[in-house]
Structure 1
Amino acid sequence: MKMKTIHQLLFVFCFSFFSQMYGQEQKYNGNPDTSFETARKLAFNEHRKQAQDTLTSILTKYPDYHDIRSFLATTYAWDGNYKRARKEFSYVMEKDSKNKSNWIAAINNELWADSPYTALEMTTTALTIFPDDAEIMYQKASAQENTNNPFEAIKTIDAAIAKNPTNQKAIDFKNSLNQKLRKYSIGIKSTVDLYSEVFDPMQYHTLKLSHITKYGSVIAKLNFNRRFNTNGTQIEVDLYPKIAKGLYAYLNFGLSNSAIFPHFRYGGELYQSLPHSFEASLGFRTLQYSTTTTIYTGSIGWYTGNDYWSIRPYITPGDGGTSTSGALTYRKYRANADNYLSFGYSMGFSPETNQFYFDANDAAIINLKSQKINVGYNFTTSNNKNAWGAQFDVTHQEKSFAPGSYLWIYSLSLSWDLKFK
């Protein structure tokens, strides 16, 4: 009985093994055009794995059906498998170097793979085969922009527009480049706080000048505040230096001789890009009044499509204990980074984000309870030269002089920035 069972198992194993070997050696048998059309429908309906299996099967019998191999490479590029796509594109371009659509798809693969120098080299070669082709010139301009050569990019896109003046895609790209070439901006922001009781309205105004360099951004600010019937000014500088690919920093310095500002403030933070469109940061802020307060902070941000989410905690050690607070921010972007709708919610009190300050009561201040919600809208004019913003906040704030008792703060902010070369 046992020997019979063993023989049966051996038979099943051998049959499965040889069937599998035969299946692996079996080549495609069907109409390649019909199968290609089916694979295209699958790919465009979010069934790319099935489409890729079909395309690969066809190529076992028709290895030089270049349209199929090129489309297979494109689906790999859509999936972010740029190395595999590059291999397939190389095969078809070696066999048929005069096919413009293959060049365009292969160059796009390098642009999507964040390999702009390779893409730029390919566009240079492609333009010797297809001189003055507007579509390839557009790709060359994109590669030049991504290699930090916006001035060369705008020359290339101008030439493309000259060949096809109605090319709206090229025109929009030129407008985007012009925006980036506006390295300077001047702006003003004004905020007023209205209190439900006790305090008179408070005002906050900022005049700023920004300059974008190849090393990062520099922002100089002059702040003017009126609080507690006292006027004060502060000089402040923000720096955003680039350190390496995916890594940059935030540095801040400020000086004032007014009692309603820190006499001296400074801070720093490192930002690192992470896989899957995440970004993380870690840093601190130090505020020096009659005593010195240091706030430790960081953030986790996530970009998904046109949406951005961010969580930022604040930890403030002090003689009365450690205060913690946090903020959640959401932005819905539209045309570019200057056009978005934002929502925010925060809990707890941080000297970095709350504009309250009492010189004689630091410990009580950082342990105050507070909740705030806000909504904002930022937009630009059609040429992206002017940027406007508005934000409305509502805060439920514990009174420092009456713990457990709260007041309401209603804040309205308006801003305007003018960009120029």
Structure 2
Amino acid sequence: MNKYVFIILIFIHFCSFGQQKAFTGNPDRAFKVARDLAFNKQRKQAQDTLLFILTKYPDYHDIRSFLGSTYSWDGHYKKAKDAFNYVLKKSPDRLDTWEAAIKNELWSAAPFSALEMIKKALKHFPENSEILYLKASAEEASNNPEEALVTIETILKNDSNHKKAKAYKTSLTTKLSLNTIGLKASVDLYSQVFDPMQFYLIKYARATKYGSIHGKININRRFQSNGVQFEIDMYPRITNGLYAYLNFGMSNSFLFPDIRYGAELYKSLPKSFEASLGFRALKFSATTTIYTGAVGWYQKNNYWSFRAYVTPGEPKASKSGTLSFRKYRSDANNYFSVDVGAGFSPEENRFNFGGNENAIINLQSQKFNLGYYFSSKNNTNLWGAQAGIAHQEISFNPGSYFWIYSFSLSWDLLFK
């Protein structure tokens, strides 16, 4: 049907209702008109039509239930609840109405009310998968993710192929895995001058209600010597959309700064943007301070970010920047990454400068990295692989460059 003819028919039909004090038409046909109005972004007209039909047919439960759904979509949760309660009181065997009513409670941020309604629904539909799924959602929303996981496992016990439940179980398992241990091994291969340089990382992380804490041991083998650095990172949550990064590390090896510390604030912005601003301080023979900031943007399953470093020095400040892209797959633990950067930053090149800081931080450098990160089915084991290439100026031979080929592998284990 031509869309203009369709609109005219709806208009005529609706006007005919307005001229009547009581509904006298065909309720099924009028219900169809109301549904078309609702799904064509004319919700108020649809609701008026549904209410008009109910003046003659107050127990036409499909109509009143649909009216409740339209109220819920518009955020009129009290009106929706009244409509659903009317229907369920007279016809408690309506599964779709129970589902809509429970969702209305969840959308209105009333998970405990949703749980009360779910108890009643399960008396009529014992072990129904959809009702149990909503029960798990309500349990998580009421800060009981452990109970939500038990509920999801009940669904999967009865239906092992329930796709939504399987995905939800993975999400809950990750949320409940408050502890992480991880290992990382990297190697840098130089086209000339230097022997291969090796880097190893051992970490333990703990998620808390205040933010996560990461303890790290960095092990480095360079210039035929071994060195160890102890480091702690913290990500305290300040308020919704605002958190911080705090860092402190120390070492007695010439391969690392004697002390390093830093801080940064991260803020969520409208339109899926985020921004940060902070600093890092590295104490070599003198203390080098690096100022850094980043801008990120989430676009569906894509994430773009640009991070800049500025290191004051003589004869001028050193600047470097990295543009990063991530393509996420099923979740935040599964993605492909690309990094492109220019400039030398002592934050990213963590070794002692031997008193030659000013010369080194002004080195010319370009880099390109590729990464692939993936997890096991239950998100308990996380793996990562990265390969990169850099073209960097030689510190003791300005104007000459070597190539650096980098490879790394990482593994994290999440557990309660």
Partner of 2:349: 354
SS in 2 for 1:62: helix
How has the CA–CA distance of structure 1 residues 27 and 240 changed in structure 2, closer, same or farther, with 3 Å as cutoff?
farther
Partner of 1:152: 147
Of the candidates 385, 396, 402, which is equivalent to residue 401 of structure 1?
A: 396
Q: Tell me if 1:134 matches 2:129.
A: yes
Deviation at 1:330, TM superposition (A): 1.2
Partner of 2:4: none
Partner Cα separation in structure 2 for residue 199 and residue 342 of structure 1: 28
Of the candidates 111, 123, 130, which is equivalent to residue 115 of structure 2?
A: 123
How has the CA–CA distance of structure 1 residues 396 and 54 changed in structure 2, closer, same or farther, with 3 Å as cutoff?
farther
1:124–1:140 contact (8 Å) kept in structure 2: no
Deviation at 1:181, TM superposition (A): 2.4
Partner of 1:92: 83
How has the CA–CA distance of structure 1 residues 142 and 200 changed in structure 2, closer, same or farther, with 3 Å as cutoff?
same
Q: Which moved more, 1:91-100 or 1:221-230?
A: 91-100
Deviation at 1:126, TM superposition (A): 3.1
How has the CA–CA distance of structure 1 residues 243 and 107 changed in structure 2, closer, same or farther, with 3 Å as cutoff?
farther
Partner of 1:32: 30
How has the CA–CA distance of structure 1 residues 274 and 232 changed in structure 2, closer, same or farther, with 3 Å as cutoff?
same
SS in 1 for 2:382: strand
Deviation at 1:174, TM superposition (A): 2.5
Instruction: Work out the percentage of aligned pairs sharing the same amino acid.
Output: 47
Q: Structure 2 matches for 1:207-246, cutoff 5 A?
A: 207-246=202-241
The superposition leaves residues 42-84 of structure 1 with CA deviations (integer Å, 9 ceiling, x where unpaired) of: x4xxxx53x547635634643673254245346x4xxxx6x35
Partner of 1:66: 64
Q: Tell me if 1:286 matches 2:281.
A: yes
Partner of 1:363: 358
SS in 1 for 2:379: coil
SS in 1 for 2:355: coil
Partner of 1:19: none
Partner Cα separation in structure 2 for residue 109 and residue 395 of structure 1: 55
Partner Cα separation in structure 2 for residue 27 and residue 286 of structure 1: 77
Partner Cα separation in structure 1 for residue 291 and residue 95 of structure 2: 55
Q: Which moved more, 1:168-177 or 1:334-343?
A: 168-177
Partner Cα separation in structure 1 for residue 65 and residue 120 of structure 2: 23
Partner Cα separation in structure 2 for residue 136 and residue 266 of structure 1: 50
Partner of 2:310: 315
How has the CA–CA distance of structure 1 residues 331 and 88 changed in structure 2, closer, same or farther, with 3 Å as cutoff?
farther
Q: Which moved more, 1:102-111 or 1:141-150?
A: 102-111
| One-letter amino acid matched to 1:410 | Y
Partner Cα separation in structure 2 for residue 289 and residue 112 of structure 1: 55
How has the CA–CA distance of structure 1 residues 149 and 165 changed in structure 2, closer, same or farther, with 3 Å as cutoff?
same
Partner of 1:260: 255
Partner of 1:299: 294
The superposition leaves residues 143-184 of structure 1 with CA deviations (integer Å, 9 ceiling, x where unpaired) of: 332444222222333344455555343243224323332322
1:123–1:137 contact (8 Å) kept in structure 2: no
Q: Tell me if 1:198 matches 2:193.
A: yes
SS in 2 for 1:404: strand
How has the CA–CA distance of structure 1 residues 87 and 310 changed in structure 2, closer, same or farther, with 3 Å as cutoff?
farther
How has the CA–CA distance of structure 1 residues 214 and 24 changed in structure 2, closer, same or farther, with 3 Å as cutoff?
farther
Partner Cα separation in structure 2 for residue 69 and residue 267 of structure 1: 56
Deviation at 1:119, TM superposition (A): 2.8
SS in 1 for 2:187: strand
How has the CA–CA distance of structure 1 residues 24 and 409 changed in structure 2, closer, same or farther, with 3 Å as cutoff?
farther
How has the CA–CA distance of structure 1 residues 181 and 68 changed in structure 2, closer, same or farther, with 3 Å as cutoff?
closer
| One-letter amino acid matched to 1:227 | R
Deviation at 1:296, TM superposition (A): 1.7
2:170–2:377 contact (8 Å) kept in structure 1: no
The count of aligned residue pairs is 383
The superposition leaves residues 239-284 of structure 1 with CA deviations (integer Å, 9 ceiling, x where unpaired) of: 1222223322221111100111011111122222233332222221
Partner Cα separation in structure 2 for residue 27 and residue 402 of structure 1: 92
SS in 2 for 1:335: coil
| One-letter amino acid matched to 1:66 | R
Partner Cα separation in structure 1 for residue 352 and residue 294 of structure 2: 25
Of the candidates 333, 341, 351, which is equivalent to residue 338 of structure 1?
A: 333
Q: Structure 2 matches for 1:368-407, cutoff 5 A?
A: 368-407=363-402
RMSD: 3.0
1:293–1:316 contact (8 Å) kept in structure 2: yes
How has the CA–CA distance of structure 1 residues 246 and 149 changed in structure 2, closer, same or farther, with 3 Å as cutoff?
farther
The superposition leaves residues 334-354 of structure 1 with CA deviations (integer Å, 9 ceiling, x where unpaired) of: 222211111111122211113
Partner Cα separation in structure 2 for residue 323 and residue 283 of structure 1: 16
SS in 2 for 1:259: coil
Deviation at 1:333, TM superposition (A): 1.3
How has the CA–CA distance of structure 1 residues 303 and 206 changed in structure 2, closer, same or farther, with 3 Å as cutoff?
same
How has the CA–CA distance of structure 1 residues 62 and 404 changed in structure 2, closer, same or farther, with 3 Å as cutoff?
farther
Of the candidates 180, 183, 191, which is equivalent to residue 185 of structure 1?
A: 180
Q: Which runs of 5 or more residues in structure 2 are unaligned?
A: 1-13
* TM-score, L = length of structure 1: 0.80
| One-letter amino acid matched to 1:89 | A
2:80–2:104 contact (8 Å) kept in structure 1: no
2:179–2:205 contact (8 Å) kept in structure 1: yes
1:27–1:61 contact (8 Å) kept in structure 2: no
